[in-house]
Amino acid sequence: MEKVTTIKLCSVAEKTTNMQRRPLRILLTSISSDSHTWNLVFLQLLIEKQGHTVINLGCCVSDVEIIKRSYEEEIDLVVVSTVNGHGYIEGNRLILSFKREKKIAHIPVVIGGKIGISGKDNTKHYPSLLKNGFDAVFGDSPNLVAFENYINQIDPIFQHSEQLLPRKEI
């Protein structure tokens, strides 16, 4: 089983009681060169089944459009899915641009799918994706439980707070 490395954003109040959790608003997209849509439809259905709202940008989305829509929508999470093998190259470019935008840099961004073209050796790309700003990397081995658990640990009550503590591994 493939190891999934994740980073957690922690709020000042780790746990809250007697507060109702609202559904997350999740921006779902692919990278600019990826013309596949089946993965996006599958993920949208999976996420919506958990009760969250999905804004699906579709395939071949430019970095500029992803950043623009992240400003326009009240997003709690950006999910980047790719199956064409260029996730490592285009994902690093996207996340570096995204994290330079101070007003949206706090939004967690994850990437998953076929990150490279090296098969099982694609895991060698994970450290740079994380270092450059992705909050989690999910490889091309289907680990839906880890992905669902990641989504469920995001607390939308504090997501847009300025009082976020530094990231830590979970």
| Residues β-bridged to residue 6 | 136
Yes or no: say if 61 and 35 are a contact pair by the CB < 8 Å rule: no
* Tens-digit pLDDT profile for residues 16-72: 433 457 899 999 999 988 889 999 999 999 999 999 999 999 999 999 999 999 999
Distance CA 59, CA 87 (A): 13
Q: Quick one: which of 74, 137, 63, 138 has its CA closest to 101? A: 63
Walk me through the domains of the chain, giving residue ranges and CATH numbers: 40-59+77-145 (3.40.50.280)
pTM of the model: 0.80
Q: Which two tokens stand for residue 15?
A: 């746990």
* Residue corresponding to tokens 């600019």: 32
* Tens-digit pLDDT profile for residues 57-96: 999 999 999 999 999 998 999 999 999 888 889 999 999 9
83: how many CB neighbours lie within 10 A of its CB?
20
